Structure 1
Amino acid sequence: MAQKKAHEVDSWLKKPDPDVRIVLIYGPDRGLVSERASAYVKQLGLDPEDPFSSVRLDAAEVEASPGRLTDEAGTVPMFSDRRLIWIKGAASQKQLVEEVKHLSASPPQDAVILIEAGDLKKGAGLRGILEPAVRCMALPCYADEGRSLDSIIDEVFSREGLSIAMDARHALKAGLGGDRIASRGEIEKIALYCHGQREVTLADIEAISGNVAGVSVDDAVDAVLIGNAPNFDTAFTRLVGSGSPAFLILAGAMRQFHALQMMRAEMDSSGKPASAAVASARPPVFFARRKLVESALQRWNAASIARALERLQAAVLLTRQRPDLTEATARQALIALVVEAGRGRR
């Protein structure tokens, strides 16, 4: 199968198969998708800024210009042995899917096609085409948690000659969100603040950390989970008013609903009460949020969680198709979930 599990992706990117001609990097963590795409391009040894060896396309361009991707894939490179065709913003665009299907059946000899996509359903669209294909690869990117965050923290701090106290590590991880670029930026900021020191302390974290997951993001998402409309409106308005992208709230909501889905499945399969499911959750639920998550599990069943994730995925897709409507799209989708959570308590 031309796919890797989430924990296998980084090792594959360190030594990618040179015979692979179409690579799909997808998932809800846009920052991680972008970072891994850049890492793959670096391994290829092609200059993405060189117009003779690389071309960048948006999925919307492929959709609007039938045959464009096929033509680019068939173009013979002038000054290199391969051309890079880098496509961003992919989802379920019909024309893109059709051209990728055609190309996967007969992969280009002189080009590598790299596709960045959002969260894709298993067995459908681009995943359904590329995962079973020859000389193709599908790489998932999910929100950083647990060991993934630890590896980034260790990478950045060790590079700067810093160690980090255990209480500081816990505080830092609790404030990091589900976007790789935002998380790395926060860690880099702390490393710069602590330049010249030997250890990062809890006081340093408290002094400099802006909480990349965002207090307002957490407040907004938690209000969605339990159907608290006034708190949601206040948190959402404060967040977008500060200049933060509304997409972060959608990403945070997707991350929390995925966590709810796993806990709800545990409850339904084993008969555990909500408190036991929360207590045994991996990664663990921060103790200050446990009561809230238990309440959310009483409001959301498996079917309603699945509907919520579908609504959020549709909203994310629309924000990419119409960036000018991102705030309105996010607010509308999240308010609908607030209403559904409110109904769940009756």
Structure 2
Amino acid sequence: MAQKKAHEVDGWLARPQGAFPVVLIYGPDRGLVSERATLYARQAGFRLDDPFSVTRLDAGEIESDPGRLMDEANTVAMFADRRLIWIKGAGTHKALGASLKDLCASPPEATTILVEGGDLKKGAPVRAAVEQGSAGMALPCYVDQARAIEGVIDEVLGRDGITIAPDARQALKASLGGDRLATRSEIEKLALHAGRDGRIELAHVAEIVGDVSAKSLDDATDAILAGDVAGFDRAYSGWVNAGNAPFQLVSAVMRQFQQLEMLRAAVDGGASASSAVAAVRPPVFFSRRDNVERAVQKWTSSSIARGLERLQATVLAMRTRSQLDEPTARQAMLALAIEARRLR
């Protein structure tokens, strides 16, 4: 049995101790989970672009074909000394949990199983299988807090030798958080465009990260949650026509969905939508409270999870194809608005 507390994970990843054929990295911050999984795979010595040594699976594939993981784990690599089986999207999957339990009890030689999971509760089949298995290591990841955001800012800017003014740092921190990949991408964008002189000032943050009001962000976000397709289209067009970055709107919608995921969990646990929203800190602005309450009642846990997966894929697509960021963002958020309309 092996597991780490959230504050111990970075240290363990930097200097892993012991051999663990089955590693689970899980938590509500999908960007942080993905980032740490990639770091672990690289530090374990796997070439991530080598299809002979790295096999990628979705948890849903294993759930529909329970024997798939065992077959893959016991397949001998023909052109590599070791194999990595990388599983994404693990949630409340019983068949996957059963397979991981067997693999922890009798791990295959020269094969590592790396699992990315969502916000798994204690006792969930996947989490329990790894935490209780002698060959398993479970690593929890949680949403970026102030100290973690400071660390990402220092890491990204320090890598390029860029300094940042104190007031610019405070403004940047206020606009970040919620998802590690989104946080990192926003800082990298700022460093790329504003760091040519080696220092970032407040004006750079206002120009690059965005200076539109929170009201504009809320209008677009609430239209998505409510399934108001026309309202979203107007808000998005106005946002882009004003010269604002689509990425900032995607980040705001992602933060709203992460909050919605937490609120939905409270409602599923027996709380009312109104009491769950009232307990949020920092509080939901009063003019938006009814909209958020209706969204909590309408969006299910599974539909919220699908929305977050779509947004995360959008962030990655915008990073790799920056010239198409505007239509990429619009298409993804329009799909969410259509999904909300269907749920309604």
TM norm structure 2 = 0.71
Other-structure match for 1:148? 148
Other-structure match for 1:35? 35
State how far apart, in whole Å, the 2-side matches of 1:169 and 1:309 are: 37
Equivalent residue of 1:134, what SS?
A: coil
Retained in 2: the 8 A contact 1:26–1:120? yes
State how far apart, in whole Å, the 2-side matches of 1:317 and 1:94 are: 18
Equivalent residue of 1:87, what SS?
A: strand
1:253 to 252, 256, 259: 256
Equivalent residue of 1:176, what SS?
A: coil
Task: Give 1:156 deviation, angstroms.
Answer: 1.0
State how far apart, in whole Å, the 1-side matches of 2:251 and 2:196 are: 33
Retained in 2: the 8 A contact 1:31–1:180? yes
Match for 2:192: what amino acid?
Answer: L
Other-structure match for 2:302? 314
Retained in 2: the 8 A contact 1:176–1:211? no
1:96/1:248 CA distance change after superposition, 3 Å: farther
1:297/1:122 CA distance change after superposition, 3 Å: farther
Retained in 1: the 8 A contact 2:66–2:95? yes
Q: RMSD of the alignment, in Å?
A: 4.4
Other-structure match for 1:268? none
Retained in 1: the 8 A contact 2:55–2:85? yes
Q: Percent identity?
A: 45
Task: Give 1:125 deviation, angstroms.
Answer: 2.1
Q: Deviations for 1:243-302, whole angstroms, at most 9, x for unmatched residues? A: 7799867742354358889xxxxxxxxxxxx99x98xx6xxx4xxxx6x457889999xx
State how far apart, in whole Å, the 1-side matches of 2:103 and 2:11 are: 26
State how far apart, in whole Å, the 1-side matches of 2:211 and 2:11 are: 29
Other-structure match for 1:209? 209
2:131 matched to 1:131?
Answer: yes
Matches within 5 A, 1:175-190: 175-190=175-190
State how far apart, in whole Å, the 1-side matches of 2:101 and 2:203 are: 54
Retained in 2: the 8 A contact 1:219–1:231? no
Task: Give 1:33 deviation, angstroms.
Answer: 1.4
Equivalent residue of 1:56, what SS?
A: strand
Other-structure match for 2:324? none
Equivalent residue of 1:193, what SS?
A: helix
1:250/1:182 CA distance change after superposition, 3 Å: closer
State how far apart, in whole Å, the 1-side matches of 2:233 and 2:143 are: 21
State how far apart, in whole Å, the 1-side matches of 2:297 and 2:47 are: 37
1:204/1:145 CA distance change after superposition, 3 Å: same
Task: Give 1:152 deviation, angstroms.
Answer: 0.6
Retained in 2: the 8 A contact 1:57–1:88? yes
State how far apart, in whole Å, the 2-side matches of 1:315 and 1:175 are: 26
Retained in 2: the 8 A contact 1:157–1:163? yes
Match for 2:301: what amino acid?
Answer: Q
Task: Give 1:193 deviation, angstroms.
Answer: 1.4
Other-structure match for 1:166? 166
State how far apart, in whole Å, the 2-side matches of 1:335 and 1:137 are: 41
Match for 2:75: what amino acid?
Answer: T
Other-structure match for 1:238? 235
Retained in 2: the 8 A contact 1:315–1:329? no
Match for 1:314: what amino acid?
Answer: S
Q: How many residues in Structure 1 have an aligned counterpart in Structure 2?
A: 310
Q: Deviations for 1:115-138, whole angstroms, at most 9, x for unmatched residues? A: 112222221121122122222112
Task: Give 1:90 deviation, angstroms.
Answer: 2.0
Task: Give 1:318 deviation, angstroms.
Answer: 4.5
Retained in 1: the 8 A contact 2:261–2:304? no
Match for 1:192: what amino acid?
Answer: L
Other-structure match for 1:74? 74
1:8/1:231 CA distance change after superposition, 3 Å: farther
Task: Give 1:5 deviation, angstroms.
Answer: 2.0
State how far apart, in whole Å, the 2-side matches of 1:84 and 1:256 are: 33
State how far apart, in whole Å, the 2-side matches of 1:314 and 1:329 are: 16
1:55/1:151 CA distance change after superposition, 3 Å: same
State how far apart, in whole Å, the 1-side matches of 2:31 and 2:227 are: 30
Retained in 1: the 8 A contact 2:47–2:54? yes
State how far apart, in whole Å, the 1-side matches of 2:205 and 2:90 are: 37
Retained in 2: the 8 A contact 1:131–1:138? yes
Match for 1:313: what amino acid?
Answer: S
State how far apart, in whole Å, the 2-side matches of 1:142 and 1:231 are: 31
